[in-house]
Amino acid sequence: MSDLQAILDSIHTELLPRLGEGKVADYIPELAKVDPNQFGMAIATVDGNVRSVGDADIPFSIQSISKVFMLTLALGKVGESLWKRVGREPSGTAFNSIVQLEREEGIPRNPFINAGAIAVSDIVLSGHAPREAIGELLRFVRYVADDESITIDDKVARSETQTGFRNIALANFMRAYGNLDHPVEHVLGVYFHQCALSMTCEQLAKAGLYLAARGTNPITGHSVVSPKRARRINALMLTCGHYDGSGDFAYHVGLPGKSGVGGGILAVAPGIGSIAVWSPGLNKVGNSQLGAVALEMLAARTGWSVFGD
Ligand code: GLN
C-alpha cells in the first residue's frame, strides 16, 4: 500500500485547477467566511498508518459529520431502543426539511438528517446538563481520534445559535409530537455545539477508524463498539449519510460516508481504512463538491468500493 501516498498526491494535483468549485454554506454566517480554495485529504489505514495531502492539518467545522459520533454515543446509552424515536430509511429530502417531519408525525426518517440528529442529541442529553453532554461528546471524539487537542469552535456554535431558525422549527415540531424529552433550547445547545466541532482531516480520519476496523481502534486498541454495531453504523452512512445525494454518492464512490456543510466528508472502507476529505464548496444538496470527486477518484484507483473493484 506504499503507493497510497502517490494516489493522494495525484488526486490533489489533478484537483488543484478546480479548487473553489461549489458554493460555501452561507446560511451559517461564520461558515460563509471560510476560504473556498482549500483542499485536504487524509487516510488512516487499519495498520495504523496515516497519510495525507494538501490542507489536511487545518481544522474545519465538521458540522453534520458529528452526527456519526453522536449516534455512536446514543446507541451506547440506549441501544436499539433508539429506533423507536428515529427511523433508518433514506429521506429523499433536504437535510433540514420540515414537511416530511410533519407528515410522519415527528419521527425523523434517519439519524443523519437534522431532525434525526436533534432527537439523537436529546437522547445523549438525558441525565445531563447541556454542558455535560457536550463535554461527553468532546471527550468521546478525542478518545476515538486519540487526540486531546480537538476543540469546539464557539464562534461557529454561536453563529448557528443566532441563525438556526429551521432547526428550531424542527425541534419544536418534535417536541410537540412528544419526540423530545428536554427543552428545545437545551437540545439545540447540544446540537449546535456538536456541529461546531473543529477537526483536521488527519484527526477525522483517525476518529473514523473504529468504523473501518470492526469497532476497535487499531492504533490505540480501544474497543469503541461491537463489530455488529460498526457494521450497522456503516450501513446507515451508506444509505443516509449524504441526504438526498446518498444514492449518487453510493453510485460514484461506493463507500459509507457522512458529509457536513463545512465541506468535510468522512468515508469508511471497511477492513481497510477511514478517509477524511475537506473542500468547502458544496453542491446543490449541501455535500462537498470536490470532496465527493476526490473520493470517487480514490475509490476508482484503489478498488475500495464496497460493491467490488
Ligand atoms: N449545523 C448544520 C445545520 O444544522 C449541519 C447541517 C449539515 O452539515 N448538513 O444546518
Helix (H) or strand (E) holding 275: strand 273-278
Ligand 1 contact via 64 beta carbon (within 6 Å): yes
Instruction: Give the torsion sign (CA, 149, 155, 158, 159).
Output: negative
Poorest-pLDDT segment among 90-104, 106-120, 252-266 = 90-104
Distance 279 CA to ligand 1 centre (A): 16
Per-domain residue ranges of the chain: 4-61+200-302, 64-195
The reply to whether domains 4-61+200-302 and 64-195 share a CATH topology is yes
Model confidence band, residue 2 (pLDDT cutoffs 50, 70, 90): low
Of ligand 1's listed atoms, the one at least distance from the Cα of 27 is 10
Of the residues 261, 268, 277, 293, only one is catalytic, namely: 261
Residue 44 CA to residue 207 CA, distance in Å, equals: 9
What mean pLDDT comes out for the span 275-291?
97
Q: Please give the C-alpha separations between residue 234 and each of 204, 240, 245, 285, in angstroms, as whole numbers.
A: 16, 10, 16, 21
Contact status, residue 43 vs residue 4, Cβ threshold 8 Å: yes
Pocket test for ligand 1, best of 192, 195, 284 (most atoms within 8 A of CB): 195
Q: What are the backbone dihedrals phi and psi of residue 251, each rounded to the nearest 5 degrees, phi first?
A: -65, -45
The percent of residues above 70 in pLDDT, for the chain, comes to 99
Bridge partners, residue 198, by sequence: 61, 151
Ligand 1 contact via 263 beta carbon (within 6 Å): no
| 210 assigned to active site | no
Of ligand 1's listed atoms, the one at least distance from the Cα of 63 is 8
| 251 assigned to active site | no
* Superfamily classification of domain 4-61+200-302: DD-peptidase/beta-lactamase superfamily (3.40.710.10)
Please name the amino acid found at residue 37.
N
Model confidence band, residue 1 (pLDDT cutoffs 50, 70, 90): very low
Name every residue whose Cβ is closer than 8 Å to that of residue 212 and which is 6 or more positions away in sequence. 44, 46, 268, 269, 270, 271, 272, 273, 274
Pocket test for ligand 1, best of 114, 167, 285 (most atoms within 8 A of CB): 114
| 274 assigned to active site | no
Of the residues 67, 68, 141, 224, only one is catalytic, namely: 67
Which fold, 64-195? Beta-lactamase (3.40.710)
Contact status, residue 256 vs residue 237, Cβ threshold 8 Å: yes
Residue nearest to atom 2 of ligand 1 (CA): 63
Q: What is the pLDDT of residues 132-189, one digit of tens each?
A: 999 999 999 999 999 999 999 999 999 999 999 999 999 999 999 999 999 999 999 9
| 143 assigned to active site | no
**Residue 151: exposed, middle, or buried by beta-carbon count in 10 A (0-12, 13-18, 19+)?**
middle
CA atoms within 13 A on the CB side of 159: 18
Which pLDDT does position 15 carry in this prediction?
A: 98
Mean pLDDT of the chain: 97
pLDDT at 236 over 80: yes
Question: Could you give the strand order of the β-sheet that contains 40-45, starting from the edge strand earlier in sequence?
Answer: 50-54, 40-45, 273-278, 264-269, 257-259
Q: What is the pLDDT of residues 179-218, one digit of tens each?
A: 999 999 999 999 999 999 999 999 999 999 999 999 999 9
Residue list, annotated binding site: 64, 114, 160, 167, 191, 243, 261
Helix (H) or strand (E) holding 99: helix 99-103
For residue 110 the three cell numbers come to 434517519
Residue 280 CA to residue 141 CA, distance in Å, equals: 22
Q: What is the pTM of this model?
A: 0.97
Ligand 1 contact via 167 beta carbon (within 6 Å): yes
| 243 assigned to active site | yes
Q: What are the backbone dihedrals phi and psi of residue 282, each rounded to the nearest 5 degrees, phi first?
A: -105, 155
Q: What is the pLDDT of residues 104-139, one digit of tens each?
A: 999 999 999 999 999 999 999 999 999 999 999 999
What mean pLDDT comes out for the span 242-249?
96
Q: What is the pLDDT of residues 12-41, one digit of tens each?
A: 999 999 999 999 999 999 999 999 999 999
Of ligand 1's listed atoms, the one at least distance from the Cα of 260 is 8
What mean pLDDT comes out for the span 291-304?
98
Distance 289 CA to ligand 1 centre (A): 16
